[in-house]
Structure 1
Amino acid sequence: MAIRWSWASPRIALIPALTTTAVAFLGAILWTIWISFTRSRRFPEYTIDLSSWSRQYERLFNDSSWTTALGNILILAIGNALAILFGFILAAMIEREKRGEGFFRTIFLYPLALSLIVTGIAWRWIFNPDLGVQNFLRGLGWESANFNWLADTRTAMYGIILASIWHGLGFYMALMLAGLKSINSEIWSAARLDGVSLWKFYTEIIIPMMKFTFLTCAILLSLGVVKTYDIVLAMTNGGPGTSTWTPAYFVVNSFGARGNIGYASAAAVIMLLMTAALFLPLMLVTAWQARRREERA
C-alpha cells in the first residue's frame, strides 16, 4: 500500500497544475484558433462561415503592415544573433583572464536586471538628438554628427537591435561562460603543449564541444525575437509609420487600436506557427544529440 501511495501521491499533486495548464494554456490556444476563423470584431463571435472561413488570413497576408512585421522579425533575428557571437567572445576573454572575472560578469549582467521597457526608454534618450549622443558629439564640435536613428525608417530597426543586444549580451555571455567552464581543463593544457593556434583551438575544438550551449542560446533567441513587443513600444511605438512593427506589436495593435479580435487572433495563430517552426526543430536536434551522447557513453 505504501508503494502504491508513493507512486500515486506525486501524480495527484500534479493534477491542479496540469488542469490549469490545460484550461489556461491549451484552452486559450484552441479558443484563439477558433476565433481566427470567425468574423469577430470587437467582441467574439463563435459562428464560422464556411464560405469565407479563411477571410481573416487572406486579409492578413494582403496587409502591408503584416509583411513589414514579418520582415522585421528576420532583421531582428539576424541582428540579435550578434548577441550570441559577442557573448561567446566576451566569455572567452573572461575565461582566459581570470582576474576581475566576478566584476566583469556583474557589469555585463547588469542590463538583464532592467526590464525591456526601461531599456527601451533609456535607449530612446540615447538616440534623442537633443539629449543623447548626437547632442554630445555636436557639443564636442562634430557638427555633422547624426545619431537620430529612431526618426528614420531606414535605421529605426537597427536602433532597436542595438538596444536588444545591449540588454541580452550579458545573459548569453553567462551561458557561454558556463559552457566554457564545463570543458575539461586538460584539453586547454594539451592544446597549449601541441602549439595549436588560438583561432584553430576555438573554431575546431571549443566551439564543436559547445554545440549544446549554442543550440540553447539559439532556442532562447528565437523565442525572444518572435514575441518582441516591449522594447518596440518603448523606443518607437511602432514608428516611424509602421517601419518597426513586429508580429507581437501587430497583434496588440489589431486588438487594441483596430478593435478586431478575429484579425488579431489570426495574426496570433501565425505567430504560434512561427514559434513552433523555430522551436521544434531545434528541440528535436538537441534531443537527438543528447541521445547520441548517451549511446556513446
Structure 2
Amino acid sequence: MSIRWTRIAPQLALSPALAVTTVAFLGSILWTVYLSLTRSRQVPDYGIDWAEWSRQYGRLFADDGWRIALWNLVTLGIGSALAIVFGFVLAAMIDREKRGESFFRTVFLYPLAVSLIVTGVAWRWILNPSMGLEAALHRAGFEGASFNWLAQGDTAMYAIILASIWQSSGFYMALMIAGLKSINSEIWSAARLDGVSLWRLYVEIIIPMMRFTFLTCAILLSLGVIKAYDIVLAMTNGGPGQSTWVPAYFVINALSQKQNLGYASAAAVMMLLITAVVFLPLVLLTAWQARRRNAA
C-alpha cells in the first residue's frame, strides 16, 4: 500500500497546478476563440450568428492597420535576428580573449537587466533631435547629421529594431558562450595543428556543432518578437500614424481604444496561430536535433 501511495503522491501534489494551468491557459484560449466568433464590443456577447461567424476575421484582414502590423512583425523578426549574430560575434571574441572575460561579459549583459519599457524610453531620449545623439553631433560641428528616426514613418521601425538588438544581444551572447564552452578543446588544438584558418574553423566546424544553441536562440527570439508590445509603446506608441504597429499593439488598441472585444479576440487568435506556425517547427526541429545528439 505504501508503494502505491508513493506513486500516486506526486500526481496528487501536481494536480492543483495542472488544474490551474488547464483553466487559466487552455480555458482563456477557448474563451478568446469563442468571443472572436461573436459581436462582442465593450462587454462579452455570447450569442453567435453562425451565418456570419467569420465576420470579425473578415474585418481584420480588410484592415490596413492589421496588414501594417503583420509586415512590421516580419521586419522586426528579420532585424532582431541580428541580435543572435552580434551575440555570437561577441561570444567568439570573449571566448578567444580570456583576459577581462568577466568584465566584458558583465558589460554586455547589463542591458538585459533593463526592462524593455526603460530601454524604449532611453532610446527615445537618444534619438530625440533636441537632446540626444543628433544634438550632440550638432554641437560637435556636424550640422548635417540627422537621427530623428522616430518622427518618420519609414525609419521608426528601424529605431525599434536597433533598441531591441541593444537590449537582447547580451542575452544571446551568454547562450553562445555556454555553447562555445561545451565544445571539446581538442577540436581547437587539432584545427591549429592542421593550419585551418579561423574563419573556416568557425564556419565549417564550430557553427555546425552549435546548431542546437542557434535553434534555442531562434525559438526565444521568435517568442519575443511575436509578443513585442512594451518597447513599441515606450518608443513610438504605435506612431507616427500606424507605421510601428505590431500584432500585440493592434490587439491592445482594439481592446482599449476601439473597445471591441470580439475584434481584439480575432486578432489575438491570429497571433496564436502565428506563434504556432513559427514556434512549433522550431521546437520539433530542436527535439529532433536533441534526439540525434543523444543517439550519437
TM-score over 0.5 for the pair: yes
| Structure 1 counterpart SS, 2:81 | helix
| Structure 2 counterpart SS, 1:273 | helix
Quote the residue 1:17 is aligned against. Answer: 17
Q: Deviations over 1:197-221 (max 9, x none)?
A: 1111000000000000000000000
Quote the residue 2:56 is aligned against. Answer: 56
One-letter code aligned to 1:117: I
Asked if 1:32 corresponds to 2:54, the answer is no
Shift of 1:290: 1.5
In structure 1, how many angstroms separate the alpha carbons of the residues matched to 2:268 and 2:39? Answer: 15
Quote the residue 1:156 is aligned against. Answer: 156
Quote the residue 1:45 is aligned against. Answer: 45
In structure 2, how many angstroms separate the alpha carbons of the residues matched to 1:191 and 1:233? Answer: 48
One-letter code aligned to 2:275: T
In structure 2, how many angstroms separate the alpha carbons of the residues matched to 1:3 and 1:169? Answer: 50
Quote the residue 2:94 is aligned against. Answer: 94
Alignment of 1:205-224 (within 5 A): 205-224=205-224
One-letter code aligned to 1:17: A
Percent identity between the two aligned chains: 70
| Structure 1 counterpart SS, 2:225 | helix
Quote the residue 1:71 is aligned against. Answer: 71
Quote the residue 1:135 is aligned against. Answer: 135
TM-score by length of structure 2 reads 0.99
Shift of 1:289: 1.4
CA RMSD, Structure 1 to Structure 2 (Å): 0.6
Shift of 1:184: 0.6
In structure 2, how many angstroms separate the alpha carbons of the residues matched to 1:261 and 1:103? Answer: 49
Quote the residue 1:181 is aligned against. Answer: 181
Alignment of 1:214-293 (within 5 A): 214-293=214-293
Q: Deviations over 1:261-293 (max 9, x none)?
A: 000000000000000001100111111111222
Q: What residue ranges of structure 2 are gaps of 5+ in the alignment?
A: none
One-letter code aligned to 1:95: D
| Structure 2 counterpart SS, 1:48 | coil
In structure 1, how many angstroms separate the alpha carbons of the residues matched to 2:168 and 2:210? Answer: 19
Shift of 1:5: 1.6
One-letter code aligned to 1:143: E
Shift of 1:295: 2.4
In structure 2, how many angstroms separate the alpha carbons of the residues matched to 1:145 and 1:290? Answer: 50
Shift of 1:2: 2.4
One-letter code aligned to 2:144: S
In structure 1, how many angstroms separate the alpha carbons of the residues matched to 2:171 and 2:142? Answer: 35
In structure 1, how many angstroms separate the alpha carbons of the residues matched to 2:162 and 2:290? Answer: 34
Shift of 1:49: 0.3
Aligned length: 296
Q: Deviations over 1:96-116 (max 9, x none)?
A: 000000000000110010110
In structure 2, how many angstroms separate the alpha carbons of the residues matched to 1:161 and 1:197? Answer: 33
| Structure 2 counterpart SS, 1:244 | coil
One-letter code aligned to 1:225: V
Asked if 1:85 corresponds to 2:85, the answer is yes
One-letter code aligned to 2:246: T
Asked if 1:110 corresponds to 2:110, the answer is yes
Quote the residue 1:202 is aligned against. Answer: 202
In structure 1, how many angstroms separate the alpha carbons of the residues matched to 2:227 and 2:140? Answer: 39
In structure 1, how many angstroms separate the alpha carbons of the residues matched to 2:202 and 2:84? Answer: 15
Q: What residue ranges of structure 1 are gaps of 5+ in the alignment?
A: none
| Structure 1 counterpart SS, 2:94 | helix
TM-score by length of structure 1 reads 0.99
Shift of 1:3: 1.8
